[in-house]
């Protein structure tokens, strides 16, 4: 006997940052929601470093135990001279990325969404007002593709697809004690990381060391680690995991929607072409996509792509910056530029978005932070019932 088809209001393809936030939001809005993912669980084989800018942390409150707050960026020239950048009130969060995804999945399920793991999207056909999924006994009124840079949803429905990528590779270390945990360590080097940069990022439990390169290039992690070994001493630590992945770098795909179907996150190219940052947009646009789909299905609101179009970033300046980075200026020029005030201003702007240090050195900033912590710890304790 044929199994009864399970109907959903919304099926999301991909248990990604964007997909899981969308699932939670849609379920909380009263939609019946299913998430399809080919992986055995949400945190399996993570392909991202998972660093959150402050704006992303402001979008979603992630459990403190899964993050590490980092206030500064130490930016290295090819000759390994460095400058320290920071801005009072701003921070980055390095994350236990796999467990952040697991937590987002649990939050989505707690809101009422159903997550179908080991369920690969193999296409869907329109049948009246619903889509019937090939090889799965489910149907949906709306489909949201949050299935990454090589989106199967985009391919199935003839939507735009990413064609330009950064390629990244990294390794996680336990016991990398020589990496100053106060900073994200970022390396500009047109020989080691042409078109992007290398990094060493202290996380909650491990330290990530890696690099990404611009379109048409291949990263050489072994060479990067050898060049930075004198700074960090990888040989003294233990490598526990490696990962690699592709990051969209061409801006928004077009078209990114069809009747009853929409893309979000990496699938839609909603990633900064310059920096490769996409988690903040995944949180923001995953939530907004779900809200607009709920408005459309429940209250005859405007088609979600029409309502969302005005909120999408144009990436105009970021595309220009990507073109400049792709030129991979010679290392001696980078060495010189990093000593000049205009380059320092640009670096501050890129990392901290016009927020300045207000004349403080990083040491003064840390001292004031410690003073504030000491004052808080000296407050009298309130007794129960006070």
More confident residue, 306 or 384: 306
Phi, psi of 9 (to 5 degrees): -70, -45
Phi, psi of 226 (to 5 degrees): -65, -40
380 — pLDDT class (breaks 50, 70, 90): low
Could you tell me how far CA 75 lies from the centroid of its own chain?
Answer: 21
pLDDT in tens, 160-205: 999 999 999 999 999 999 999 999 999 999 999 999 999 999 999 9
Is the pLDDT confidence value at 81 over 60? yes
Phi, psi of 132 (to 5 degrees): -105, 130
| Mean pLDDT across the chain | 92
Mean pLDDT of 45-62: 89
Phi, psi of 34 (to 5 degrees): -125, 145
Rg (CA), the chain: 22
More confident residue, 365 or 259: 259
* Least confident stretch, 46-55, 111-120, 235-244, 303-312: 46-55
Provide the 3-class DSSP secondary structure of residue 144. strand
Ordered alpha helix ranges (H), 201-264? 221-232
Q: What percent of the chain has pLDDT over 90?
A: 81
pLDDT of the residue at 373: 58
Going by C-beta distance under 8 Å and a sequence separation of 6 or more, which residues neighbour residue 347?
Answer: 73, 75, 83, 85, 338
Report DSSP state, residue 12. Answer: E
Ordered alpha helix ranges (H), 152-278? 152-156, 221-232
pLDDT of the residue at 360: 67
pLDDT in tens, 219-257: 999 999 999 999 999 999 999 999 999 999 999 999 999
pLDDT of the residue at 84: 92
pLDDT of the residue at 350: 85
Is the pLDDT confidence value at 262 over 60? yes
């Amino acid at each position: 006997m044929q199994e009864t088809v399970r109907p959903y209001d919304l099926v999301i393809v991909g248990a990604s940052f964007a997909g899981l936030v969308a699932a939670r939001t849609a379920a909380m809005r009263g939609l019946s929601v299913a998430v399809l993912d080919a992986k055995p669980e949400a945190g399996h084989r993570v392909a991202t470093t998972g660093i959150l800018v402050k704006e992303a942390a402001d979008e979603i409150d992630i459990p403190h135990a899964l993050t590490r707050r980092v206030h500064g960026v130490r930016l290295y020239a090819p000759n390994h001279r460095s400058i320290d950048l920071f801005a009072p009130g701003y921070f980055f969060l390095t994350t236990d990325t796999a467990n952040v995804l697991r937590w987002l999945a649990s939050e989505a399920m707690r809101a009422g969404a159903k997550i179908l793991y080991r369920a690969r999207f193999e296409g869907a056909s329109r049948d009246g007002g619903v889509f019937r999924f090939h090889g799965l006994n489910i149907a949906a009124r709306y489909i949201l593709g949050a299935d990454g840079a090589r989106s199967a949803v985009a391919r199935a429905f003839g939507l735009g697809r990413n064609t330009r990528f950064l390629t990244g590779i990294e390794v996680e270390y336990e016991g990398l004690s020589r990496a100053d945990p106060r900073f994200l360590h970022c390396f500009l080097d047109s020989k080691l990381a042409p078109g992007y940069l290398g990094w060493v990022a202290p996380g909650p439990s491990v330290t990530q060391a890696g690099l990404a390169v611009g379109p048409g290039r291949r990263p050489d992690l072994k060479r990067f680690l050898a060049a930075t070994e004198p700074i960090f001493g990888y040989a003294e630590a233990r490598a526990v995991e490696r990962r690699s992945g592709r990051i969209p770098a061409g801006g928004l795909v077009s078209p990114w929607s069809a009747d009853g179907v929409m893309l979000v996150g990496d699938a839609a190219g909603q990633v900064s072409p310059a920096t490769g940052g996409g988690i903040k947009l995944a949180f923001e646009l995953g939530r907004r996509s779900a809200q607009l789909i709920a408005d459309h299905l429940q209250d005859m609101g405007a088609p979600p792509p029409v309502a969302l179009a005005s909120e999408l970033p144009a990436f105009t300046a970021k595309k220009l910056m990507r073109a400049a980075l792709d030129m991979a200026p010679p290392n001696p020029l980078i060495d010189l530029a990093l000593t000049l005030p205009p380059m320092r201003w640009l670096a501050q702007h890129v990392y901290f978005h016009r927020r300045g240090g207000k004349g403080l050195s990083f040491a003064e900033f840390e001292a004031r932070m410690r003073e504030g912590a000491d004052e808080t710890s000296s407050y009298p304790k309130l007794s129960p019932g006070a």
